[in-house]
Amino acid sequence: MTMNQDKTPLTMNQNSHYCSSETIRVSDAITLEMVQQSIAGDLFDLIQRNQLRLSRFLAWPKKVESLEDTRDFIQTQSADHHRGVGKTYAIIIQGRDFGILSFNAIDSANQTTTIGYWIDGSLEGKGVVSATQEVNAGILVEDAAFKAATPSF
């Protein structure tokens, strides 16, 4: 079960998934939105708040030193999205950015991709990532059937 920060349930209607290439409705409270420059400031702040924790598992957080680094990331991810080789979504909960879910190195010829994600430490263990994983297959099927999607951390 997915929980709000105050540990009340985030309602999940199994038939409520809405999917377009820009926005995916996961539940009444959670959406995935293609990363855009308009969230650069919030995303940078989120990365900075979680930098030490994320750096234990990932190499890139230490390299995010400025808002410009985040803007460059968003620009690269947007270009990959439009070329069909990657999709990167902000995890939005009740209107606020709380993490990233991405499909990296989409290989349409071999029908494979890797899935990467991270979430704000305050929401770790509360079912948010699990809720987003339930719609991953739908995101991939929208464009093509994939043989394998390998999670990466």
101 CB contacts (<8 Å, ≥6 apart)? Answer: 32, 88, 89, 91, 115, 116, 117, 129, 132, 136
Which residues constitute the domain of residue 35? 18-152
Report pTM. Answer: 0.77
Give me the number of domains the chain comprises.
Answer: 1
pLDDT, greater one: 140 or 87: 87
Asked whether residue 13 is domain-assigned, the answer is no
Asked whether residue 34 is domain-assigned, the answer is yes
Residues 123-130, mean pLDDT to the nearest whole number: 90
81, 90 contact by CB (below 8 A): no
10-49 pLDDT, tens per residue? 333 333 333 445 888 888 899 999 999 999 999 999 999 9
Q: For residue 100, what pLDDT is reported?
A: 95
- Give the separation between CA 39 and CA 65, rounded to whole angstroms: 16
What CATH number has the domain bearing residue 48? 3.40.630.30
Residue 1 pLDDT grade (very low, low, confident, very high; cuts 50, 70, 90):
very low
